[in-house]
Amino acid sequence: MTDTDSNGRPGDVSNAADDRDPLFARIPRRDFMKAGAATGALTGLAGCTSLLSSEENATAAADVDASVPPGEHDEYYGFLSGGHSGEIRVYGIPSMRQLMRIPVFNRESARGYGFDDETRGMLEDAGGYTWGDTHHPRVSQTDNDYDGRWAFVNDKANGRMARIDLKYFETDAIVDVPNQQGTHGACCMLPDTKYVFGVGEFRVPMPNDGRDLDDPDSYTSNIAAIDPETMNVEWEVLVDGNMDNGDGGKNGRWFFATGYNSESAVTESGMSESDTDWVKAFDVPAIEEAVEAGEYEEIGGVPVVDGTRDSSLNEGDRPLVRYLDVSKSPHGVSVTPDGKYAIASGKLDPTCSVIDIEALGEVDDPNEAVVGRPSLGMGPLHTAYDGRGHAYTTLFIDSQVVKWDIEAAVEADAESEDPVVEKIDVHYNPGHLIAAESYTAEPAGDWLISLNKLSKDRFLPVGPVHPENDQLIYIGDDDAGMELVKDTPAYAEPHDASIVHKSKLEPASTYDPADPELDPVGVDDVDIQREDGRVDVKMTSQRNQFGFEDITVQEGDEVTITVTNIETTADLLHSMAIPEHDVNIKLAPQETRKVTFAADEPGVYWMYCAFFCSALHLEMRSRLLVEPAE
Ligand code: CUA
């Protein structure tokens, strides 16, 4: 195959995937889905020519100005997951400038996250793992619109969910979801974020305590409903098969999750044997009633209801979970802005399934609620919306974004390509994509980001590990068509994102001294207390001193230092770093942090400020004197 050039760019690079996967190279692409080797082919990561080449579609797009001149602000915040880094990254859109990184499951020294007692304790209480794998940042909503309170993100690696306070842009809660290994999907129950759902991916014995080790038939996965205020897991629902991504309906009734492995297998070939898998539709009020009626088993401290296909709770008039048969291994699912449809992408099949949400509550056979199945291209993964009736779906294998008409797909015959409006090449192999405010009832309809897994030749080479490529596409002009505006290299691995208009957020510019949780140290509170091998220091920081010029402790003391940055000037950060003690706390204006450490080695240690705060920044330091034990 000579396919990579289909991306229409000079400087063709050989497709590494084709080089290493001779199986894929042998399969004529039109027969790709019939080859019975679809999973092998999917891992082939090819950038094939599209059915409808983008050259044919290229119209004279209007010149789009995505520049944001120096000193000016962006229109939107983009919250992108940081994958293996365990963080969230905040971008300005459309500039694609990275504005901030929010550590979540990782320790991060510039923000002192995981170093002070509170954040270190939060990470330890949530399992104490040193990494996480963030995938799906979702922002809380009220009445189907962003309310600016929180962002949530999952840890696929360790089965956790975190909450980020969007006043301070910092993680304020993490829950280690019981009974769940591999929390993949994360999303909100709308219209008012009643729950945050963690979608469990890896099937394991329940509970996973050593029983049923090699009895895969008894493994299960579940969804967890988490209260956004308390971050308590309120209930879980057991299901058959794996789960993957999810999205909540807009009216408080349904929640959808895609899943592969209806086969309940434990090997790749086993997981892709069947031609169909399920989209699961969870009837949330019915589940709440079952919990209320005590129809659950408590496992790991959580009420767990049985939503497997053959369970008694899942039979009768009001099954808890409806299993819809869709083509093999569906991947993304997202609900249209008007709340009418849930659209599940085929991944190993070129179609998407359009599910009529209202019909779902009325039909006997849930498969009758599938009202459209447009054929979009190779490897459809995720779908976003512009609010003008179009859906945009990433085509992982074709390396394209396809724009299509949702109602046309409902009216067209199954597997028709007629609903396709336009395709645009992206570089390369996109996973998620996100349009501005796509998860709300009223998407903005102007910007879309394609989160591409590979960048290949798009940037200066930096060794064998390539950056990924987040591409900005203008979708605001239906006549001119989609226009690729910007490449943005990204460190692995942004999976998903949410884009929120700046008017919906009100970030604080300093900490709030009236916040009862902060308990600040005032200038009059500076103090040292000693008792039985414990030293308790309270001090301030401001240009260019800490509250004490020196602090003397005994070898072996446990030392707690609480510091308040008493600056009121925005952006005037200090920190307190202590060499050879693994201490570094960041102090934004009016912020208070507490850190506890052992003074185990006699000697002189300079406590210094690690943020450049003024011309006398280097001089801003105090001594920690650790006296040898008698
Ligand atoms: Cu304070 Cu540098």
Cβ neighbours of residue 462 under 8 Å, at least 6 residues apart? none
The rounded distance, in Å, linking the Cα atoms of 613 and 253 is 52
Cβ neighbours of residue 478 under 8 Å, at least 6 residues apart? 388, 390
543 CA closest ligand 1 atom index:
1
For residue 8, what pLDDT band results from cuts at 50, 70 and 90? very low
Nearest CA residue ID for atom 1, ligand 1? 574
User: What per-residue string of b and e applies to 257-282 under the rule 16 or more CB within 10 Å gives b?
Assistant: bbbbbbbbbeeeeebbebeebbbbbb
- The residue with greater pLDDT, 535 or 349, is 535
| CA angle, residues 108, 581, 128, in degrees to nearest 5 | 45
The rounded distance, in Å, linking the Cα atoms of 467 and 459 is 8
Structure confidence by residue, pLDDT tens digits, 202-235: 999 999 999 999 999 999 999 999 999 999 999 9
Q: What is the pLDDT of residue 11?
A: 34
Handedness of CA 77, 79, 82, 87 (dihedral sign): positive
**What mean pLDDT value characterizes the chain?**
90
Q: How far is the CA of 293 from the centre of ligand 1 (A)?
A: 58
Cβ atoms within 10 Å, residue 243: 28
Structure confidence by residue, pLDDT tens digits, 533-556: 999 999 999 999 999 999 999 999
Q: How far is the CA of 154 from the centre of ligand 1 (A)?
A: 35
What are the residues facing 587 on neighbouring strands? 574
Say yes or no: CB of residue 546 within 6 Å of ligand 1: no
574 CA closest ligand 1 atom index:
1
8 and 58 in contact (C-beta within 8 Å)?
Answer: no
Q: What is the pLDDT of residue 1?
A: 34
pLDDT mean over 119-127:
97
**Alpha carbon distances (Å) from 27 to 1, 168, 322, 428, 432:** 9, 52, 36, 20, 26
The rounded distance, in Å, linking the Cα atoms of 16 and 24 is 12
Q: What is the pLDDT of residue 12?
A: 37
Q: What are the φ and ψ backbone dihedral angles of 10, each rounded to 5 degrees?
A: -65, 175
The rounded distance, in Å, linking the Cα atoms of 37 and 140 is 41
Q: What is the pLDDT of residue 348?
A: 85
Say yes or no: CB of residue 146 within 6 Å of ligand 1: no
613 CA closest ligand 1 atom index:
2
SS (H, E, C) 231-273: CCEEEEEEECCCCCCEEECCCCCEEEEECCCCCCCCCHHHHCC
Q: Work out the widest C-alpha separation in the chain, in whole angstroms.
A: 87
The rounded distance, in Å, linking the Cα atoms of 131 and 105 is 6
Residues in the chain: 630
- Residue 294 DSSP class: T
Q: How far is the CA of 101 from the centre of ligand 1 (A)?
A: 21
- In 3-state terms, what secondary structure has residue 477? coil
- Residue 458 DSSP class: S
Is the pLDDT reported for residue 511 higher than 90? yes
Q: How far is the CA of 611 from the centre of ligand 1 (A)?
A: 5
For residue 630, what pLDDT band results from cuts at 50, 70 and 90? confident
612 CA closest ligand 1 atom index:
2
The rounded distance, in Å, linking the Cα atoms of 265 and 242 is 9
Structure confidence by residue, pLDDT tens digits, 612-624: 999 999 999 999 9
544 CA closest ligand 1 atom index:
1
Q: In this predicted structure, which of 122-131, 344-353, 363-372 has the lowest mean pLDDT?
A: 344-353
611 CA closest ligand 1 atom index:
2
| % of the chain with per-residue pLDDT over 70 | 90
The rounded distance, in Å, linking the Cα atoms of 319 and 306 is 10
614 CA closest ligand 1 atom index:
2
Q: How far is the CA of 616 from the centre of ligand 1 (A)?
A: 8
Say yes or no: CB of residue 617 within 6 Å of ligand 1: yes
Q: In this predicted structure, which of 11-15, 41-45, 104-108, 327-331 has the lowest mean pLDDT?
A: 11-15
Cβ atoms within 10 Å, residue 443: 22
Q: How far is the CA of 590 from the centre of ligand 1 (A)?
A: 14
Say yes or no: CB of residue 620 within 6 Å of ligand 1: yes
Whether the model clears a pTM of 0.75, i.e. scores above it, the answer is yes
Say yes or no: CB of residue 84 within 6 Å of ligand 1: no
Q: What is the pLDDT of residue 17?
A: 39
Q: How far is the CA of 566 from the centre of ligand 1 (A)?
A: 12
The rounded distance, in Å, linking the Cα atoms of 95 and 258 is 33
Say yes or no: CB of residue 611 within 6 Å of ligand 1: yes
609 CA closest ligand 1 atom index:
2
Q: How far is the CA of 546 from the centre of ligand 1 (A)?
A: 9
Structure confidence by residue, pLDDT tens digits, 25-68: 333 333 333 333 334 444 444 444 334 444 444 444 456 888 89
From the number of C-beta atoms within 10 Å of its C-beta (0-12, 13-18, 19+), residue 520 rates as buried
Handedness of CA 8, 9, 11, 16 (dihedral sign): negative
- Given phi > 0 = left and psi -120 to 50 = alpha, else beta, which region is 83? left
Structure confidence by residue, pLDDT tens digits, 256-313: 999 888 888 888 888 888 888 899 999 999 999 999 999 999 999 999 999 999 999 9
What is the rounded end-to-end Cα distance, in angstroms, of the chain? Answer: 78
Say yes or no: CB of residue 577 within 6 Å of ligand 1: no
From the number of C-beta atoms within 10 Å of its C-beta (0-12, 13-18, 19+), residue 585 rates as buried
164 and 177 in contact (C-beta within 8 Å)?
Answer: no
